[in-house]
Each structure stands twice: as structure tokens, then as C-alpha cells.
Structure 1
Amino acid sequence: MHDILSGGATEDDGALPENKMRKKGNELAEEELRYNGTPLCDMAERGAHLTTAATDDRPSIFEVLAQDTLMGAVRPALQHAVKVLAESNPSRYGFLWRWFDEIYLTLDLLLQHHFLSRTSASFSENFYSLKRVVTSGPGRPVHLGLPRKPRWRSLLLLALLPYLRTKLEKILARQRDEDDFSIQLPRSACRRMYRAFLAAYPFVSTAWEGWVFCQQLLYIFGRTSRHSPLLWLAGVQLMHLNVQDIRSMDLKPRPPSSTSTQSVGQKFQGMLSTALGGVALSLSTSLSLGVFFLQFLEWWYSSENQSTIKSLTSLPTPPPPLHLDQEQSAMASNNICPLCHKVRVNDTALATSGYVYCYRCVYIYVKAHQQCPMTGYPTELQHLIKIYSPEG
């Protein structure tokens, strides 16, 4: 009785002691923690791998392509604005159109250098919350910018390479015009090399575009960490900004400790850097506002939006309402059909105008003219509504 009340049992009774029961329970728990013979630690490793893949900092192909096309949309917009100014007042704004490429290159260099030094990204990359990370080397806070060599390589590839490509395309177009409308004279060796280079440029451009396309395909399938050969040449890759990066960019730069010990050259360099930073900041603010405006214009003039506007405005403008005289008012009140001028039979109303006619009269008219007899509104046979009066 004492053993029963204390919860104990003997081995002769066929029951297990308490310590053996606890040991057996632990063994069963360990067996339950296995899945198809796989320990929990292995399952945790596989789960961690899936979590890492799901929360990868690598941007999607849509984000990188969007930031690539952003600056490509800004340049034509600015060029069109400069063209309008030059045509309106050539004496004052003509130089802007003549030196547009060089002016744009200068502003682009200032803007990109500012963002590469302050956010470790270009203007368009920072607009989409991306950053450039050096593939080889220790990590670096975002607000300190890229290291010197990757920063200058990125700056040249972001600003100088598009400028050279634009110049080559203009020279190529001018050369084609000269070949079509000029007399061919004997050419020197330098001239032949120049023309050979211009002739080879389209093939080089096609090969480059093919390389970019293959790189993007490899990026989509996860075979490479860069979507563009330019990133490979710069030695960087794009990543998403995290919370620490955003907080670090909010930190203000440390002011100089003492200006009395600085030389005149250092003071001038600091003033120049501050002035250029202010210009770059103003450009970035203006471009940020302009980008939203450009995206609105792109949506407004898109084919989908134009088709919607066209469908809404395709209906003809209705004529002003007719001033019915007393006789017509009497006809309407005396159940007279406006078409046959007789008493209506099988009253039928048009959903487009609300007028009531004989069913036979309005059916024949709408089928032949596809419009309301009184108002001219576009009408189909499905707009006929038969009216069943209480008297009939």
C-alpha cells in the first residue's frame, strides 16, 4: 500500500522503475526529433541555408535594370529642355546646346562622385536603395564611400564611358552622311585607319550588347553576382542597403579639428570640396524631383494609358439638347412614337437616351444606323429595353 501511494512500483509487478521510465521517455523523444533518419542539427543547417537564400541581399533583375535605365531617361529629358531653350533664345542659350555633352559630363562627374563618396553607390543605385560592395577586401561603412581605386574606376565607367560612346556615335553618324553626299578622294593611311575604326565600331557595339545580355541571363539564373560587365571592370557588386547602412548614412561628417594648422592649399581644397558637395547635393535633389516627374510623363504617354484615354474619348460629342415645341411635347405626352408619329405599340426605351419608341420602329432604325433617332448617341440592339405598362 505504501508503494502504491508513493507512486512507486516493483519490477515483479511488471512495471519499470522511475529512472528507467525517464530514460525510456528521453529515448522516445530523441527518436521523435529525427525526420527520416536526419538529426535535428542537420535539419537546422538546411533550414538556415534556405533562410539565407530567402533573405539574400542581392537585388532582383528588375531593380538593377530599373536603376540602369534611370540615368538613360534623364539625359534625353535634359537634352530636350536645352534644345527648347536654345531654339527660343539662341544668342543666350545656344552655347548650352553646342556644349551639352561636355556640360552634362561635368555635372554627371560631380553628381556621381558625390554619391560614390557619401553613399557607396551611384545616383540611380542610391535611388533604388542599393550600394556597391568591393568584392575583394574588408567591409567598409557605406557613409565612408568606396575605396579610392574602386571609386575612381566606378566614376570613369559611370560618367566618362557614356560620354565617349555618345561622341563615337555622333562621329559615326556624321561620317555616314559625308560618305553619302561627298566626293571620294584618295585617303591617307591615318584616314584609312580612322575609317576602319568607324567601320568596326558597330560590330564592337553589338558584341558588347551581347556580352551584357549574356551577363544578365547569368545573373537571372544565379550564376554570377554582377548583372553588368561594368561592375566586373569596377571590381564591385550591387547589394541592398540594410538598417545599419541607412543609420550610418544619417551620421553627419565630423568637422575638422583645427583650421589654424592647415595650409592655404588645404584650406582651398576644403572650400572647393564643400562647394562641389553643395552643387552635387543640389543636383541630386533636383534630379530626385525630376525623376518622379519623368516617371509620371512616361506613364502618361505610355501605350496603355493612351489606349485608355482613346477609349474614353472615342464617343462623339453629343449635340446640345433639342428645344421641343408644344406639338412635340404633346406628342411625347400622348404616347406618340417619334418615328412613325402614331400611338406606340410595344413600348421600347433606349438605355442610351431614355426616349421611348415602338419596338418595331426603333429596332429597324437602330439596326440600320446604330444610333438613337433623337439624340444621335451610339446605340446597339442590346440597349433596347421593352416596357411593360400596368394597363397592358
Structure 2
Amino acid sequence: MAVYAAHLTRSFQGTPSVFQVTAQEALGTTLKPALRKVIEYLSVLYPNKCSWCTHWYDELYLLFDCIVQYNYLKYYAASFSESFYGLLRVPISYSSEFSIGQRLPIDLERGSLALLVLLPYVKDKVGAIIDKWREDDEDGKLGKDTRGRLRSAAIKVYAILHLVYEGLQLVQLARYLRGGSPSHSLPMAALGLTLRNAPPQELPEDEYTWSDLFKNLSSGQIGSAALTFPMVGGAVVRGAEYGAFVVQLLRWWRDRGAPPPSLPAPPPPARAEAAAARNRCPLCAAAWRLPTALPVSGYIFCYTCISRHVRARGCCPVTSLPAAESSLVRVYLDTQ
């Protein structure tokens, strides 16, 4: 009867809104770039001990993400970000749930772990390879041999598949919003899972909590005050969850589109320097290929040269003024 009651409790929980499901997805995508910044900072601070972490960051994050997501799926039937927003995963078909209570069936738990951990890892790796091939194609380095033609075809196929997948994902989200599908995403629909609001957790009557600790300290009962492992573990978990939320908030604040502060106009180049660099990229010193202007400084570069530099350094290579890749402007000049 207790297991049956748990099943009914999970079945009648309200369906999460589209804002909840999109917010938890955004939180999940924030962790990897945030931790990358921490690793890069440590590698600069301790190059002899942590420099290798930047090279193997994807694999290290894969291991870390696997441990975190497995524990959340095992104990909360949800991913890290889903648990933060008070959600849990529920099979659309409840036939196997009567024997396991709140935990997901083993096959769905393993499938969820694979899609939460392995799928983003493979997508990032394939995306990095395709980006490298695309840059080589724009720079004219792929060549006309069979390997170059295959890579050019792979770039086009990847772009088409990415567009189709994102379109299907949008359709799935629209169906979820209209009530036509119980799953908000394609991976969840493929596993036969849906999200529900998690029921409130009821602590045992004899569970020692933080409120009991502060109460004993404030009343002077120092001998009765104690720190238990569940208290410390829960505080660490909640601290990590709220820390990830703060990172997501800061990332939104940075990308919210506020107008950048006005920057001083760079000094014009000397006449002799300008004559020597006429119709040439300041980075590669060759004739312009896809001339692209950087508005913050006014210089014109090859698109491949300036996009790589701005992506890596975040500034103009000539004036060192801060710049973003989104500010690049393609120009059409008569160089004759």
C-alpha cells in the first residue's frame, strides 16, 4: 500500500510549466563553461600542476558530470538542474513503477544517464571538429582532394542535421506547451519519460536539522549541538545548486544586451605604416580574404584571422580594445 500511495503521489503531481523546463535546461548548459573558466584560471595560476587540465577538460567534465548526474538520478530521480527546480522524472507508462517506488527503472535510469552525459559530450566533440573544418574551408586549406571534398560535405550535412534537430526540438516544445505531448524534449520522449513537480520531502521525526543546531546554540546547550553527515551533505549539495544558479544569473546579466561603455577612438596609423599595410590584413600581412572590419578600432582583417583572434583573446590585435565576435562586419571593398 505504501508503494501504491507513492505511485499515486507521483502520478497526480502538476505538470511543470514551459518556463520551468526551459530554465532547468539553461541551468544545465551553464555548468560546463563556468567550470572551464575556473580550470583556465587555475592553469594560469599553477601552470606546472593544472595546465594539463585544460587539454583534457572535456574528459574531466565528462567524469564529473557522470558522477553528479548518476547520484541525482539515483536518489532524486532527476538530473542536477531538474532537482534544483523541484522536478523529477516519471515514466509515461507506470507499469514498472509499483515495484520500485520513487526510483526510476534501471533501464530508464541508465538511458537518462547516457543522454544527459554522453550525448552532450559527443555533440561538443563533433561540433569542435566541424568548426575546425569550417575554419579551414573558409581559409582555403581543405584542398580539392577526396578528403577535402568529404570534409566539405560533412560540414553541410552537419549544418542540415543541426537545423533539423533544432526544428524538431522546437516542435516538441510547442506540442508540450499545447498539451499534445507529455515530454518537453526529444530525448525525454525517446525514453518515454516526462517531468513532474516533486512532492515535498518529509523528514523523519527524529532527524536532527540545522534549525535544531541553531536552537541549541542560541539556548546555550552546547553539548546537545552536533553536526551530522546528512546536514553537511545537504548543505554542500544545496550550496552547489545555488552556486550554479548564481553563475547562470551572472551569465544572463553579462549577455542581456546592455550597451557597452563608450571607448576612446584609437589613434590613426602613421602614413608610412598605412601605406605599407594597404589592402593587407594586419595579422597575416597577406591580401585580404573576406575583408572584415572590427568597428571598435576601424581596422580591416581577413575574416578567419580576426574571428579566431577575437574568439581567443577578446580584443583588437592592433589597439587591444575589447571586442566581441558578434561585432564583426563584413565589408566589400574595391582593392583595385
Which of the residues 194, 200, 211 maps onto 1:237? 194
Tell me what 1:186 maps to. 145
Tell whether the 8 Å contact from 1:143 to 1:248 is kept in structure 2 after alignment. no
Tell whether the 8 Å contact from 2:13 to 2:198 is kept in structure 1 after alignment. no
- Offset at 1:86? 2.2
Aligned positions of 1:140-289 closer than 5 A: 144-179=102-137, 180-182=139-141, 184=143, 186-187=145-146, 193=150, 195-243=152-200, 246-247=201-202, 284-285=237-238, 287-289=240-242
Aligned positions of 1:45-64 closer than 5 A: 57-64=14-21
Tell me what 1:375 maps to. none
Residue 153 to residue 248, structure 1, CA distance change in 2 (3 Å): farther
Partner Cα distance (1:249, 1:98) in 2 = 46
Q: Which runs of 5+ in 2 are unaligned?
A: 1-11, 208-232, 262-336
- Offset at 1:292? 3.6
- Higher RCO structure, 1 or 2 (CA under 8 Å, sep 6+): 2
- Structure 1 runs, 4 residues or longer, greater than 6 Å off: 248-252, 280-283
- Normalising by structure 1, report the TM-score: 0.51
- Offset at 1:91? 2.6
Tell whether the 8 Å contact from 1:86 to 1:97 is kept in structure 2 after alignment. yes
Q: Which runs of 5+ in 1 are unaligned?
A: 1-54, 253-279, 311-392
Partner Cα distance (2:235, 2:140) in 1 = 46
1:128-153 C-alpha deviation (Å, 9 max, x unpaired): 11111112224358875211110111
Q: Does 1:290 align with 2:247?
A: no
Partner Cα distance (2:164, 2:206) in 1 = 44
Partner Cα distance (2:195, 2:254) in 1 = 31
Query: What is the aligned length?
Result: 223
Partner Cα distance (2:83, 2:155) in 1 = 36
Tell me what 2:70 maps to. 113
Residue 251 to residue 214, structure 1, CA distance change in 2 (3 Å): farther
- Normalising by structure 2, report the TM-score: 0.58
Residue 176 to residue 296, structure 1, CA distance change in 2 (3 Å): closer
- Offset at 1:77? 1.0
Tell me what 1:69 maps to. 26
- Offset at 1:78? 1.0
Tell me what 2:307 maps to. none
Partner Cα distance (1:76, 1:124) in 2 = 15
Residue 240 to residue 119, structure 1, CA distance change in 2 (3 Å): same
For the aligned residues, what is the CA RMSD? 3.3
Tell me what 2:56 maps to. 99
Residue 236 to residue 140, structure 1, CA distance change in 2 (3 Å): farther
Partner Cα distance (2:247, 2:99) in 1 = 32
Partner Cα distance (1:122, 1:142) in 2 = 18
Q: Which structure: larger Rg? A: 1
Tell whether the 8 Å contact from 1:113 to 1:155 is kept in structure 2 after alignment. yes
Partner Cα distance (1:139, 1:87) in 2 = 50
SS at match of 1:238: strand
Tell whether the 8 Å contact from 2:176 to 2:182 is kept in structure 1 after alignment. yes
Partner Cα distance (1:197, 1:121) in 2 = 35
SS at match of 1:223: coil
